[in-house]
């Protein structure tokens, strides 16, 4: 009877609640993901006629989000994951309102800084899920969260572009602030996940079955994977124009979205296949990313570009799903807020490093340089994965 009582809180958090958290992240991330591509249209309204600061401002929320994520994660473990998740949604709403009504470049920059510091909805959502779920259920929830991010990345720029006919992207920040506010209202109805006290015998079981990878290895793999994939994003359109002159913006957008569409279609089946062997899936994912990005460097036709984008999508799907499985495995016995906050730090650090490397490489060697740099980084990581496995076994 007592054992049944101890297990009561965990089944209360079911599939509906998990989907609600993922859905709220999807709607709240619309402005954060959909409006930055339009900085070149927004900044001239604020005095930067040549949009010279667009590249710098593009990474400002990422930099400050990386700096704030570990702190917010630790505060979530101390004061409650639901409270800090609500704080993240409300923080986004405040920063979007300020950005939408900004009348100078300085105010707009402050709004982006606040978006990074006060936001962090992805890490907060993962910390909330990590407190309510564990094992395969948690890794599946993290896979669903990545699906929300990919769906927003595909849909948000299209919606923003459609709305631009009657409302400028600058003012859309204020309009889209209603989305995180709505998400906060929906999340307020969810329960606060309870920390489940494990029986005294659990530490012995954990010793018998140590984590698949160490926490430091997980952070390094997260950084490497984000760096390898994100580096191809900023200059992909320029690369398509260089290889296929006269390509329509719509077709370029479809090519950009293909890897993310692959994730939306295949993520859950891939999770079912690789949830018990994530290291193999991650090595295969890095290999596909390396080959796909290298293929971008030589693809000279539309069919070839579609093929390498799909290969990159396979690697993106394998890598993100298997990293979610490894993160869920590392979450056993740890405070989820701190873990996912730190993981978000390394993820955003990888994105910032990728943006800087892409800018430097493209300026020096042309639009093909970022994909070749990312492919080389993915190939090196794939080659090192077996070595990491041997080190982990030896340390045990």
Going by C-beta distance under 8 Å and a sequence separation of 6 or more, which residues neighbour residue 41? 51, 164, 168, 169, 170
pLDDT confidence tier of residue 196, bands split at 50, 70 and 90: very low
pLDDT at 120 over 90: no
Average pLDDT over every residue of 162-183: 89
Going by C-beta distance under 8 Å and a sequence separation of 6 or more, which residues neighbour residue 266? 314, 317
- The phi, psi pair for 120, rounded to 5°, reads 75, 35
More confident residue, 251 or 292: 292
CA distances in angstroms from 45 to 4, 101, 111, 170, listed in the order given: 61, 12, 16, 8
CB contact burial 311-345 (16+ within 10 A = b; e otherwise): bbbbbbbbbbbbbbbbbbbbbbeebbbbbbbbbbb
Q: Which of 116, 154, 165, 174 is nearest to 37 (CA)?
A: 154
Supply the DSSP symbol for 45. G
> What's CA 6's distance to the chain center, in Å?
34
How far is residue 339's CA from residue 345's CA, in Å, rounded to a whole number? 10
pLDDT at 100 over 70: yes
pLDDT confidence tier of residue 143, bands split at 50, 70 and 90: very high
Average pLDDT over every residue of 122-151: 89
């Amino acid at each position: 009877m007592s054992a049944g009582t101890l297990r009561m809180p965990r089944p209360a958090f079911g599939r509906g609640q998990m989907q609600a958290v993922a859905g709220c992240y999807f709607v709240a991330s619309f402005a954060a993901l959909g409006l930055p591509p339009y900085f070149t249209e927004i900044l001239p309204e604020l005095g930067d006629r040549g949009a010279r600061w667009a590249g710098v401002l593009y990474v400002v929320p990422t930099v400050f989000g990386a700096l704030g994520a570990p702190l917010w994660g630790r505060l979530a473990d101390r004061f409650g994951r639901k409270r800090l998740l609500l704080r993240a949604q409300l923080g986004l709403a405040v920063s979007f309102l300020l950005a939408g009504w900004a009348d100078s470049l300085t105010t707009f920059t402050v709004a982006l800084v606040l978006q990074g510091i006060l936001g962090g909805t992805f890490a907060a959502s993962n910390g909330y899920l990590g407190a309510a779920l564990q094992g395969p259920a948690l890794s599946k929830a993290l896979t669903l969260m990545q699906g929300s991010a990919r769906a927003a990345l595909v849909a948000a720029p299209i919606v923003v572009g459609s709305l631009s006919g009657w409302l400028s992207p600058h003012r859309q920040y204020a309009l889209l602030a209603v989305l995180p506010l709505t998400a906060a209202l929906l999340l307020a109805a969810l329960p606060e996940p309870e920390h489940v006290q494990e029986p005294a015998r659990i530490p012995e079981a954990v010793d018998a079955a140590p984590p698949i990878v160490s926490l430091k290895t997980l952070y390094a793999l997260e950084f490497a994977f984000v760096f390898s994939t994100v580096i191809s994003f900023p200059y992909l359109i320029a690369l398509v124009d260089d290889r296929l002159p006269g390509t329509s913006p719509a077709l370029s957008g479809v090519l950009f979205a293909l890897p993310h569409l692959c994730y939306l279609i295949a993520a859950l089946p891939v999770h079912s296949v690789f949830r018990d062997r994530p290291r193999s899936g991650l090595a295969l994912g890095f290999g596909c990313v390396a080959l796909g990005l290298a293929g971008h460097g030589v693809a000279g036709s539309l069919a070839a570009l579609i093929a390498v984008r799909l290969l990159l999508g396979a690697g993106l799907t394998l890598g993100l799903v298997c990293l979610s499985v490894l993160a869920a495995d590392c979450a056993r016995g740890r405070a989820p807020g701190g873990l996912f906050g730190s993981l978000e730090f390394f993820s955003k650090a990888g994105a910032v490093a990728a943006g800087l490397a892409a800018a430097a490489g493209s300026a020096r060697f042309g639009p093909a340089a970022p994909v070749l740099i990312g492919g080389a980084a993915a190939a090196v990581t794939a080659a090192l994965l077996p070595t990491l496995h041997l080190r982990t076994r030896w340390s045990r």
